[in-house]
Amino acid sequence: MEAVGFIGLGRMGLPMAANLVAAGFTVRVWNRTKGKAPPGAVECRSPREVAEQSAIVATMVADDAALERVTFGEDGLLSGLRRGGIHVSMSTISVALSRRLREAHQAAGQGYVSAPVFGRPEAAQKKQLWIVCGGEQKDLASCERLFAALGRGTFTVDEAPQANVVKLTGNFLIAATIESAGQATALAEKAGLDPRKVMDFFAGTMFASTAFTGYAARVATTEFEPAGFAMPLALKDMTLALQAGQEVRAPLPFASLIRDRLLTALARGRDSWDWSGLASVAREDAGLPPRRT
């Protein structure tokens, strides 16, 4: 069976690597904290060691800085990946870094595929991720079995950096849904309605989508812990979305509002909350406590 590498065994990466093992791949892994390899995977000493023994290396790390370290740093995967090997970046990163990665891998005779995912950790565990992928056609074809082992479908774009634009656009839409639900439930609650019943009504009728039903329920019940996607990561993504908009001169005024909401929530010590907790700021603006009691 084909050897693949996986770097980054956090809340998303660990179940993804486990699913690759379950699919029959020979999986070599590296994580900043040792001892997190899923059963059946081989733990390596560095990203370079992972890459030296793998035809394809997937990365799922927190941010640009982490991906730069595991790719370009001492003992990074760029120095270990063979000519013709493929780096599949599955993290939510900046469009600028995606371009830099593509250029660096091309210069080294390697393939680069950008493949960020939509879905929370429970979706990763159940192989229910949606994968947005971009890159050279031959590299995308080589990754088809890997994607099939991780998700329920793919959305393909022409160029690797475009996949990162789609990911940032999607996260912006989800955050906008959360902010809207926060304002709407504050209005409903102050008007004497049960916000849970109101959101249940909308979730079952005109807004029957996964994004709305999942997050509107969290907002209505103010169940902001435990975090599936923590507030600091959401701030990172809204900042990246604004950077992408600035680059192409596409204003995103609602993204600016959401970034400020996230900053306000973090200033109030809500680092461990799920990003749906940004709705707590709309509640406070309406004179309500951040969470229902």
pLDDT digit string, tens, across residues 24-58: 999 999 999 999 999 999 999 999 999 999 999 99
Reported as half-sphere exposure (CB side, CA atoms, 13 A), residue 64 has a value of 14
Mean per-residue pLDDT over the chain, rounded: 97
The candidate with the shortest Cα–Cα distance to 160, out of 176, 177, 178, 137, is 137
pLDDT surpasses 80 at 215: yes
The mean pLDDT of 187-206, rounded to a whole number, is 97
DSSP 230: B
The mean pLDDT of 144-162, rounded to a whole number, is 98
Tell me the residue type at 114.
S
Distance in angstroms (rounded) separating the CA atoms of residues 147 and 230:
25
Enumerate residues 6+ apart whose C-beta is below 8 A from 89: 58, 59, 67, 98, 101, 112, 113, 114, 115, 116, 160
The pLDDT, as a whole number, for residue 73 is 94
Does the active-site annotation cover 36?
no
pLDDT surpasses 80 at 21: yes
Enumerate residues 6+ apart whose C-beta is below 8 A from 133: 113, 114, 115, 140, 143, 147, 154, 155, 156, 157, 163
Domains, the chain, in order of start with CATH, read 3-158 (3.40.50.720), 165-285 (1.10.1040.10)
pLDDT surpasses 90 at 169: yes
CA angle 123, 114, 266 (to 5 degrees): 60
Give, in order, the Cα–Cα distances in Å from 282 to each of 87, 99, 107, 290. 41, 37, 48, 8
| Annotated active-site residue in 167, 190, 197, 236 | 167
CA angle 167, 244, 283 (to 5 degrees): 70
CB 85 within 8 A of CB 56: yes
Distance in angstroms (rounded) separating the CA atoms of residues 15 and 59:
13
Total-model pTM: 0.95
The pLDDT, as a whole number, for residue 207 is 96
CB 89 within 8 A of CB 98: yes
Distance in angstroms (rounded) separating the CA atoms of residues 127 and 91:
16
Position 1 confidence tier, pLDDT thresholds 50, 70, 90:
low
The mean pLDDT of 264-284, rounded to a whole number, is 98
Position 2 confidence tier, pLDDT thresholds 50, 70, 90:
confident
The mean pLDDT of 227-232, rounded to a whole number, is 95
Give, in order, the Cα–Cα distances in Å from 177 to each of 15, 79, 149. 27, 42, 29
Tell me the residue type at 222.
T
pLDDT surpasses 80 at 249: yes
The pLDDT, as a whole number, for residue 167 is 98
The pLDDT, as a whole number, for residue 60 is 98
Structure tokens at 177: 């849904």
pLDDT surpasses 80 at 92: yes
The candidate with the shortest Cα–Cα distance to 254, out of 200, 182, 161, 163, is 182
